Amino acid sequence: MGLIKAEYIWIDGHKPTAKLRSKTKVFDGPVNNLNEIPEWGFDGSSTMQAEGKNSDCMLKPIYFVPDPIRGGDNILVMNEVRNADGSVHVSNTRAQLVEISEKYKEEEAWFGIEQEYTFFQGRSPLGWPEGGYPAPQGPFYCGVGADEVFGRDIVEDHMDACVQAGIGFSGINAEVMPGQWEFQVGPLGPLDVSDQLWLSRWILYRIAEEYGVNATLHPKPVSGDWNGAGAHTNFSTKSMRSNGGLKIIEKACEELGKKHEDHIAVYGAHNEERLTGLHETCSIHDFRFGVSDRGASIRIPMATANDGYGYLEDRRPSANMDPYKVCAAMIVTCCS
């Protein structure tokens, strides 16, 4: 027994892109089970989740991990936002994914999400000359050396923290634009990948804070001849991963093409600035799929085409997307 600090994390009602919020509750620990973590509340009028008069919103814990920053028995707690009576709050996009993942659970959907992001210090991306531009893109992707990559100490700290927290973290790389990076979470089921992606975003912001740096998920943080930031969503079902799965993957791509606009609508705000047809993207107005094609909307990886089974990569979601919405849309379109 002893007092522990539980950092309650939730998603606010900010539009068009929701933001993460958190606050700390101190209570007797350690905690071994989710049901030992008390529900809590917050002032929804300060997070665009309520009117001033009736502003109490509920935090319902749904997932917790050891806190890699505070250490000890302290924990990080992801929450769903509920109304005061316990019903689902309008800003809560997770509740719908709970229903969809239950309905299609026999499909055994897996997701691996590539989260790209950009570090900023003041008004410029990290490592950029004050008020100017670095050398043109080319040497930075997966680069090494103080003239090629910026912020590696933060990236390493973030990766250590995520691994320590038990997040299904699968890797990192420096991106094409200097100051831009990527990490991957998955493959995991839809709820796990989404809860863990949101949590790893929170850990990223929190750790970068220590360095006086902020990370942004804006899909086009610098306009012009610079790569945008996406969240490629790799997806498979049990049948796609089995012999003959390639046929099912191709069928899923055709269905995704028919629903292109519906998907774009939940793939993140300002994505039209990124999906221009340049910089390894397909135009937001077109839909194409193809093997190994990084200029397509959906890429079928070479290994999947060669093996005849595997997964597909939806390259359209932007870095600021809500994984609860993206996973829900993928499952409904590809599985029904």
Residue of 80, 114, 195, 314 that binds ligand ADP (CB under 6 A): 114
CB of 332 to ligand ADP, least distance (A): 17
Q: Which one of the spans 45-53, 60-68, 105-113, 132-140 is the region binding ligand ADP (CB under 6 A)?
A: 105-113
Q: Which does 168 bind (CB under 5 to 8 A by kind): Mn ion, ligand ADP, none?
A: none
Q: Which does 61 bind (CB under 5 to 8 A by kind): Mn ion, ligand ADP, none?
A: none
- Number of residues this chain uses to bind ligand ADP (CB under 6 A): 16
Print the binding letters for residues 260-299 with ligand ADP: x by CB under 6 A, - otherwise. ----------------------------------------
Quote the strand ranges of the chain, DSSP E. Answer: 2-11, 20-29, 40-43, 56-66, 75-82, 110-121, 124-125, 169-174, 180-188, 214-216, 233-236, 289-291, 298-300, 312-314
Q: Is 37 helix (H, G, I), strand (E, B) or coil?
A: coil
Q: Which does 68 bind (CB under 5 to 8 A by kind): Mn ion, ligand ADP, none?
A: none
Q: What is the DSSP string of 166-226?
A: T--EEEEEE-SSTTEEEEEEEEE-HHHHHHHHHHHHHHHHHHHHHTT-EEE--S-SS-SSS
Where residue 325 falls (left for φ over 0; alpha for ψ -120 to 50; beta otherwise) is alpha
Closest CB to ligand ADP among residues 49, 234: 234
The least CB distance from residue 174 to Mn ion, in Å, is 10
Question: Which residue(s) pair with 6 in the sheet?
Answer: 25, 75
d(CA 178, CA 235): 28
Q: Select the residue interacting with ligand ADP from 63, 104, 110, 150 (CB under 6 A).
A: 110
| Residues found near ligand ADP in the complex (CB under 6 A) | 110-112, 114, 170, 184, 186-187, 232, 234-236, 241, 310-311, 313
